[in-house]
Copies of this chain bind each other. A is one copy, B any other.
Amino acid sequence: MVQESPTFSPLYRQIKGLILQALEAGEWRPGEAIPSETELAARFSVSQGTVRKAIDEMAADNLLLRRQGKGTFVASHSDPRAFFRFLRLVPLAGGIEPSTSVPLECWRAKAGQEAARTLGIKLGDPIIIVRRLLQFSSKPVVVDEIYLPGETFAGLSLDVLKDSHGSLYSLFESRFGVRMIRAEERIRAVAADRATAELLRVAEGSPLLSVERVSYTYGDKPVEWRRGLYSTADHCYYNDLG
């Protein structure tokens, strides 16, 4: 039975909502397979095709990953395929380079006006601030300053960051159960300050890309605010306008 107006939403979208709910509740972990379309159809008392359409949309949203003959899997940041979705930096020369993340600092603070607003928390709530350096082929390219709500990331420390391999989001996902699914970036050009210039080994005052990012998890809840300064001497920010 379909819910009628005033807030009509087709059956397949209601099913999408239910699957999303199960996903959010952690019924299946990232990387795991979800039940087959047939099973989900039985569970929600709809036809398999309706479940398919729901899953289709979720696969398009990069929440699920279909693999023919195998099943449908919960998207994971550990998956190398998902790696370049949030890192748009490519070498000017072309090709791909090995990247390393070097944590510099990690400390606790209270949320100021701006942090509280963008992270959707109260003024003065605990936050964690991380500073790190991103290297390509052992050369420094990005300095990131990352603001996280202290509540959800309790236990995060410099040691934890140093021990972790793989991407930061991969760590957030496996250790804190927080899956980033969407992000917004705002890019500007700024002049390098003294400290950043030294870290990136460029002249003070030279132009850098300032990339401000807010990341969201299920239900469009913001869980990360970061600002990166990119040296575009040997790399550039690549964007495909489909």
Q: Of all chain B residues, which has the CB nearest A206?
A: B191
> How many copies of this chain sit in the oligomeric assembly?
2
Contacts of A184 in B (CB 8 A): 238-241
- Distance in angstroms between the alpha carbons of A209 and B230 in the assembled complex: 12
Q: Of all chain B residues, which has the CB nearest A241?
A: B183
- Distance in angstroms between the alpha carbons of A54 and B159 in the assembled complex: 51
Given contacts A207-B207, A208-B207, contact A188 B236 (CB under 8 A): yes
Chain A residues 186 to 242 lying within 8 A of chain B, measured CB to CB, are 186-191, 206-209, 213, 230, 232, 236-242
- Distance in angstroms between the alpha carbons of A189 and B229 in the assembled complex: 10
Judging by beta carbons under 8 Å apart, are A182 and B238 in contact? Answer: no
- Distance in angstroms between the alpha carbons of A184 and B182 in the assembled complex: 21
A62 at the interface (CB under 8 A from B): yes
Given contacts A86-B241, A241-B85, contact A209 B187 (CB under 8 A): yes
- Distance in angstroms between the alpha carbons of A236 and B238 in the assembled complex: 16
A161-182 Cβ-contact flags toward B at 8 Å (1 or 0): 0000000000000000000001
Contacts of A232 in B (CB 8 A): 187-190
Q: How far is the CB of A23 from chain B (nearest CB, A)?
A: 17
Interface residues of A (CB under 8 A from B): 60-62, 85-86, 88, 182-191, 206-209, 213, 230, 232, 236-242
